[in-house]
A and B are shown apart, each in its own frame.
Chain A
């Protein structure tokens, strides 16, 4: 034996194995990662991969057949609810396990566990924010309610069992790619994770308010100015419930506290707090339904189109769920049982966000730094102090102390001032409707089995937060819309600013009785002839005669345009609806641009500037992909906005938000009365002419540059894409050719937009179309990962095939899976 060479080669061999068996920074353990039998190569699905399987699990009661069609949409035929949701859970996990866990980790403030604290501790901050906002607190309350109900308890249990059956039997070769990249393994699913997922949607859709930003603006502006900058309601509205509809007397009435003028409106303290990654304010949607009198088929058509952040793997997973008791088709959330937006054999439904404000902040006065006691109604009350532990990848655990008062968790305090560290010394407790237990799952469970308006109405009663506009249509020609949710009954401007938390009179005094939520029942057209459609697009639900304070912030232009079109349309076909859902007309520009053009004079412009002005003068107001004028308008408007507001806001403590776009446009319409045009930093008085011209002159050099780079066509200027949840570019789809934009019916912004376009015509045999920007598989190595993206970008739809059990031999069936004991 030659000892030295033996030792040397032995050490090299072991050294290599050790080095390749551990991660290096963000590089996963290369040995197992690269091994073709163990690593990522196993995710490289053969292009002709078969998905047919026969599976045996003790949990299955009766045989379940799953047919996968040419787009990998599973059509599940089960004999009972338990098996149905078990199989749904199993399929969600099979196709989307990683994202389910990732999104619930995000909801639970656990991303640092798998990603580390991130640059500038951004990920840890995000985690702390989620815990401090009370995401887990709220999810546990909802879980209690869902588990108390025997129906949803069974659904949750079966779903969880299905997910876990996949997780337990998941071989190394089935492990999703992202687990390998980040070097961790899946944990068991729980009912709490489903509750967390649903709370995450509450966060996305009701987690955006401007209490802190408005408080900062209020600290500087007198009330008269503030009310002009942030009017309670836009002047031009086409509300969900048409103007002039009469509302019954309110059953409850919130009373403004006696000292509100001094303690609330007159309170001039700013809030040195920077909210962490607020949900996109355009998290909104369009939906509408028309009855048979407006359609070519004489049957109702319902359209739904939720606008959300666009990611890969997609938020949605398309399915058909069939039992002898019900048949539902539509999109589901991997992470939750049931179909969320879709249709049954008799009815269809869709949702848009209500945009109401159900999240308010209160100041808290603690006795001392221990936060054990707080001042409330003239005495010291005990708080509950929780220590939150954050596991950190590659680091020590982080501990965070969060106090809970009877209002809710103290989200901000000296130890946590949000995304930025400030010398903040303000304690803010948050009261959020999503903290309360509620059973939204029951709504979807019942909708999946609904066959008429009464079923729909009883289903949505369970829906409390986030407030949603549920649009409805049925084969019997009923159409309806309800703004559904539990909304606090507020006095005028209650909760628009941070409220004093020492006094119980500032608490929410009650909830608006659900029957008084804004709605249009199927008998609405009888009382108001001619109104044979219902629609919503995140606009105000009613005009100002509604007897409750609405708060919130609303979109103006999308809803106005949709209603304008729907009023005019007749003999509507599915193709007409496709055109409407993907319409690129820019109503905002149609209103604002003539005013802007009126205030600009060719004589003071250079020839280059006139070139761009002519471009926009000849514009047809469509944000089509190849329109350069759309980019000119957008940039000009953005700069005009900055030109008008920047001077006024210079003295406002950060963070703040500029007034809504419609406030600027409505102000400009008043022309000379619009005093905000003046730059208060200069001695002379600027007019609208000055700011409009100055914004334009600032825009032109940027436009010239974009033009030179070949990036002035609207699609290139906007540069839409769909990002992987980990923001890994090679797993994302960038530079898509799309039109539309914010405030446009086709609401495709850069990374945000129509996440599921659906059109359902309720003829005897339902005819439905839909598409979402992604693919059924969450595996980047599958051709079903992003196979619908190109069609989605082009505005093409896929026919949605409602399969019947006897269609098993149909050519559309590509694979078959069976589940049995």
Chain B
């Protein structure tokens, strides 16, 4: 439950920060959540990772559907991902997830006591 809630809060906080602040505020957002909601290092990492994987992946997925894959299919050729919109969404989600995962892990380690 704690795990699920912290994923949701990470995603929510990152989303709100992203409305006003630069993209990398996903890192402090994930870090703060990990700092406040205490979990094991691996769970913290996974929280940040999944929070942003779902947020960025979900947003990109939604935008892509609305756009009828028009832009993603072009960008997935420039990059080059074989023109696959899906791969581009996956890459997007993974980039956000990696940053937030390690930020959350850092937040977890900032707390003094290790979790039992």
Given A16-B98, A36-B92, A46-B66, 10 additional A-B pairs, CB 8 A: A9-B105, A13-B102, A35-B26, A36-B60, A37-B19, A41-B60, A41-B64, A44-B67, A44-B71, A45-B71
> How near does chain A come to B91, taking the closest CB pair, in angstroms?
7
Chain B residues with CB under 8 Å of A21's CB are: 24
B27 touches A30 (CB 8 A): no
Cβ of B67 and Cβ of A781 under 8 Å apart? yes
Distance of A2 Cα from B108 Cα, bound (Å): 10
Residue of chain A at shortest CB distance from B103: A13
Q: Which of A582-605 contact B (CB under 8 A)?
A: none
Q: Are A5 and B109 in contact (CB under 8 A)?
A: yes
Q: Mark B55-82, 1 if CB is under 8 A from A, else 0.
A: 0100110011011101111110110000
A48 CA to B99 CA in the complex, in Å? 33
Residues of A within 8 A of B26 (CB): 35
Q: Which 5 A-B pairs have the closest CB atoms?
A: A781-B71, A36-B59, A44-B67, A6-B109, A730-B77
A728 and B41 alpha carbons, distance in the complex (Å): 44
Contact indicator A37/B23 (Cβ below 8 Å): yes
Q: Is B87 part of the binding interface, using a Cβ–Cβ cutoff of 8 Å?
A: no
Q: Mark B26-61, 1 if CB is under 8 A from A, else 0.
A: 110001000000000100000000000000100110
Of B66, B70, B72, the most chain A CB neighbours within 10 A belong to: B70
Q: How distant is A769 from chain B, measured CB to nearest CB, in Å?
A: 27
A-contacting residues of B (Cβ < 8 Å)?
Answer: 15, 18-19, 22-24, 26-27, 31, 41, 56, 59-60, 63-64, 66-68, 70-75, 77-78, 83, 91-92, 95-96, 98-99, 102-103, 105-106, 109-112, 114
Asked if B67 and A34 make an inter-chain contact with CB atoms under 8 angstroms apart, the answer reads: no
A residues sitting closer than 8 Å to B (CB atoms) are 1-2, 5-6, 9-10, 12-13, 16-17, 20-21, 30-32, 34-41, 43-48, 177, 181, 728-731, 780-783
A177 to B71, CA, bound (A): 10
Give Cα distance in the complex from A38 to B59, angstroms.
Answer: 11
Assembly CA distance A299 to B91 (angstroms): 61
B92→A34 contact, CB < 8 A = yes
Contact (A46, B71) CB under 8 Å given A2-B109, A41-B92, A728-B78? no
Select which of B74, B96, B105, B114 is within 8 A of A780 by beta carbon.
B74
Contact B109–A9 (Cβ < 8 Å): yes
With contacts A9-B105, A36-B92 known, is A16 near B56, CB below 8 A? no
Interchain nearest-CB distance for A178 vs B (Å): 11
Interface of B is mostly: helix
Instruction: Report the bound CA distance from A38 to B99 in whole Å.
Output: 16
Q: A6-B110, A36-B63 are in contact. Are A31 and B95 (CB under 8 A)?
A: yes
A37–B17 Cα distance when bound, in Å, is 10
Minimum distance in angstroms from B65 CB to a CB of chain A: 9
CB pair A1 B110 closer than 8 Å: yes
- Note all chain B residues with C-beta closer than 8 A to A12: 102
Residue of A nearest to B57 (CB): A36
Please report the C-alpha to C-alpha distance between residue A181 and residue B78 in the assembled complex, in whole angstroms: 10
Q: A37-B18, A41-B59, A41-B60 are in contact. Are A781 and B70 (CB under 8 A)?
A: yes
Asked whether, in the complex, the Cβ of A13 is within 8 Å of the Cβ of B99, the reply is yes
Q: Chain B contacts of A5 at CB under 8 A?
A: 41, 105, 109
- Separation of A20 and B102 alpha carbons in the complex (Å): 14
B39 shortest CB reach to chain A, Å: 14
CA distance A40 to B64 in the complex (A): 11
Residue of B nearest to A19 (CB): B99
27 residue pairs from A and B, CB less than 8 Å apart: A6-B110, A13-B31, A13-B103, A16-B98, A16-B102, A20-B95, A32-B22, A34-B91, A34-B96, A35-B18, A36-B56, A36-B59, A41-B60, A43-B71, A44-B63, A44-B66, A44-B67, A44-B72, A46-B63, A177-B71, A728-B78, A729-B77, A730-B75, A731-B78, A780-B74, A781-B70, A782-B70
Contacts of A43 in B (CB 8 A): 71
By a CB distance below 8 angstroms, the chain A residues around B102 are 9, 12-13, 16
Contacts of A20 in B (CB 8 A): 24, 95, 99
Shortest A31–chain B CB gap in Å is 5
Bound Cα distance A476, B65 (Å) = 53
> What is the CA–CA distance of A13 and B108 in the complex, to the nearest angstrom?
13
Q: Is the CB of B71 within 8 A of A40?
A: yes
Q: Which of A34, A39, A45, A48 is the most central at the interface, judged by chain B CB atoms within 10 Å of its CB? A: A34
Per the bound structure, the CA–CA distance linking A728 and B71 in Å amounts to 13
Residues of B within 8 A of A45 (CB): 67, 70-71
Minimal Cβ-Cβ distance residue in A for B68: A47
The reply to whether A13 and B106 form a contact with Cβ atoms under 8 Å apart is yes
Q: In the assembled complex, which residues on chain A have CB atoms less than 8 Å from the CB atom of B23?
A: 31-32, 35, 37-39
Beta-carbon nearest neighbor of B48 in chain A: A13
Find out whether the CB atom of B99 lies under 8 angstroms from the CB atom of A31.
Answer: yes
